[in-house]
Amino acid sequence: MSLSPTLPMALPDLPVARVAEIAPFDGQRVQIRGWLYGRRSKGKLHFLQVRDGSGIIQAVMFKGDVDEATFQRADHLTQETSLIVSGTVRRDERSPLGFELACDGMVVVADAAPDYPISPKEHGVAFLMDHRHLWLRSRRQGAILKVRARIIKTIRDFFDGRGFLLVDTPIFTPAACEGTSTLFETDYHGTKAYLSQSGQLYNEADAMAFGKVYTFGPTFRAEKSKTRRHLTEFWMVEPEAAFMDLDGTMELAEDLICTICRDVLADCGSELDLIDSIRSEAEQDRQLKPRREALAAVHKPFPRLDYKDAIRRLHELGSDIPDGDDLGGDDETILSRENDSPTLVYGYPAEVKAFYMKRRPDDPDRTLSVDMLAPEGYGEIIGGGQREDDYDTLVAAIHKHGLPMEAFDWYLDLRKYGSVPHAGFGLGVERTVAWVCGLPHVRETIPFARLMDRIHP
């Protein structure tokens, strides 16, 4: 057994086929480069499940088709051994892929130590998270991350296609955007800096420069809560547009979500089915809809609920939330179970929202804010609204929130030099992926989750 890779001198002189794009190679000889996912043997046959990152193909090795040494070698391969197999692609209606490989050659690149920790049996979450660097190789994790990548592509295409300019905002910032209680502080050459909680404030400057913009990057919150919705590092897309109001924001958010559902259904149906087919008992207990069904049920217009009506409805449903409070995780869970499409709750009290929120002209104690709650108990996936565009009102709000005025001088300039009504929102990628895939926790929606109690591996 050798754990060091040795690329054999005599590599097969054949086209390298990717499993996901195997169909055009039907009837041809190819090579596949990957890892051994699983194996079983029956008399003169070895069935090798070969994983190449794009999918898994079964290589059927018949004793008569390879030399004796290769056939013997195949009998002793450990899970995750890296290898190259050659053979002829042929249709096979019984396999989930629709094709298999009639194997006529195999070279081992490197053996895997025999104690590969992730076996087909069910492991505990802590164990799996400790082995996340290997857990990523599992089929279900691959499917989830493919859905994530598809959602991110949709987001980019959506905003690019609507004339929003991609403008990146800084990660090191001198001030808070979303309250001072979740700031990650760092030493910046002798002064205090914070990791960005949101690109919004810079995005507002970008919107005044370019009209319609979006920023898409990692954001950071020193969340003290260990919940299924909270990461300390997560990805957020934030569109911002000059001359857009609260209604425009709600429509934009609704269109984005409908487009995500449409694209995932069109391109990731098999990934959704795979995710549905491998659920732990705890997940099954949640009795979620099959994901295709859940996404197909999302339709415009989404239900819109004034904050006051949301409180009334919550009271009817048995919650004792005081009027004026922010909705807690449980309240969001209850409310979002009511509809098949996400719910838009708007008009939150100023008291529970950030300093930059514009007050409602008809009710100055409340704001032109909106949260989108994903169905089936998932809760908030989007937060946004119209921004305070009046200089004096904004100065007063910065004072009231106890924020350092000098850090916001540039931000106030935006109200001094040609202020316009403007609005935007932030969509959390991980919470969106969790809902789309029907996952019990956001930790599986990002390759390496950063949680309150986890920064390893």
3-state SS record for 141-179: HHHHHHHHHHHHHHHHHHHHHCCCEECCCCCEECCCCCC
Write the interaction track for Mg ion spanning residues 307-346; mark x where CB under 5 A is met and - where it is not: ----------------------------------------
Counting contacts by CB under 6 A, is residue 383 touching ligand 4AD?
Answer: yes
Beta bridge partners of 332: none
Residue 297: its H or E element: none
Total chain residues near ligand 4AD (CB under 6 A): 23
At CA 395, angle to CA 393 and CA 401, rounded to 5? 100
3-class DSSP assignment, residue 279 = coil
Residues 381-410 that bind Mg ion (CB under 5 A): 383
The Cα 54–Cα 143 span in angstroms is 10
Count of Cβ atoms closer than 10 Å to residue 85 Cβ: 26
What the block records as the tokens of 371 is 């949260």
3-class DSSP assignment, residue 423 = strand
Which CB sits closer to ligand 4AD, 58 or 173?
173
DSSP tag of 443: G
Which CB sits closer to ligand 4AD, 73 or 230?
230
Q: What minimum distance in Å lies between the beta carbon of 79 and ligand 4AD? A: 33
The Cα 75–Cα 36 span in angstroms is 12
- Tokens 């081992």 belong to 108
As a whole number of Å, the CA-based R_g of the chain is 26
Which CB sits closer to ligand 4AD, 100 or 178?
178
What the block records as the tokens of 355 is 């300093």
Which CB sits closer to ligand 4AD, 70 or 203?
203
Counting contacts by CB under 6 A, is residue 178 touching ligand 4AD?
Answer: yes
CA atoms within 13 A on the CB side of 343: 24
Counting contacts by CB under 6 A, is residue 381 touching ligand 4AD?
Answer: yes
- Tokens 């491998």 belong to 278
Q: Which does 425 bind (CB under 5 to 8 A by kind): ligand 4AD, Mg ion, none?
A: ligand 4AD
What the block records as the tokens of 311 is 């409180």
Q: What minimum distance in Å lies between the beta carbon of 201 and ligand 4AD? A: 8
Residues 396-415 that bind ligand 4AD (CB under 6 A): none
Q: Which regions of 111-263 does DSSP assign to beta strands (E)?
A: 165-166, 172-173, 185-188, 191-195, 212-220, 233-242
Counting contacts by CB under 6 A, is residue 380 touching ligand 4AD?
Answer: yes
Which CB sits closer to ligand 4AD, 81 or 432?
432
Which CB sits closer to Mg ion, 37 or 355?
355
Counting contacts by CB under 6 A, is residue 375 touching ligand 4AD?
Answer: no
Q: What minimum distance in Å lies between the beta carbon of 353 and Mg ion? A: 8
Of the listed pieces 282-290, 317-325, 375-383, 408-416, which binds ligand 4AD according to CB under 6 A? 375-383
Counting contacts by CB under 6 A, is residue 343 touching ligand 4AD?
Answer: no
At CA 387, angle to CA 382 and CA 390, rounded to 5? 170
With beta carbons less than 8 A apart as the criterion, state whether 49 and 37 touch. Answer: yes
With beta carbons less than 8 A apart as the criterion, state whether 80 and 137 touch. Answer: yes
Which CB sits closer to ligand 4AD, 37 or 435?
435
How many residues are present in the chain?
A: 457
Q: What minimum distance in Å lies between the beta carbon of 119 and ligand 4AD? A: 31
Q: What minimum distance in Å lies between the beta carbon of 262 and ligand 4AD? A: 20
Which CB sits closer to ligand 4AD, 342 or 424?
424
Write the interaction track for Mg ion spanning residues 356-385; mark x where CB under 5 A is met and - where it is not: ---------------------------x--
Count of Cβ atoms closer than 10 Å to residue 2 Cβ: 9
Counting contacts by CB under 6 A, is residue 223 touching ligand 4AD?
Answer: yes
Residues 232-271 that bind ligand 4AD (CB under 6 A): 234, 236, 238
Counting contacts by CB under 6 A, is residue 355 touching ligand 4AD?
Answer: no
Total chain residues near Mg ion (CB under 5 A): 1
Residues 187-216 that bind ligand 4AD (CB under 6 A): 198, 200
Q: What minimum distance in Å lies between the beta carbon of 187 and ligand 4AD? A: 23
In the chain, DSSP finds a helix count (H) and a strand count (E) of 14, 18
Q: What minimum distance in Å lies between the beta carbon of 316 and ligand 4AD? A: 25
Q: Which does 424 bind (CB under 5 to 8 A by kind): Mg ion, ligand 4AD, none?
A: ligand 4AD
In the chain, % helix, strand, coil (3-state, to 5) comes to 35, 25, 40
Residues 418-457 that bind ligand 4AD (CB under 6 A): 424-426, 428, 430-431, 442
The Cα 416–Cα 419 span in angstroms is 6
| Residues in touch with Mg ion (CB under 5 A) | 383
| Residues in touch with ligand 4AD (CB under 6 A) | 177-178, 198, 200, 221, 223, 230-231, 234, 236, 238, 380-384, 424-426, 428, 430-431, 442
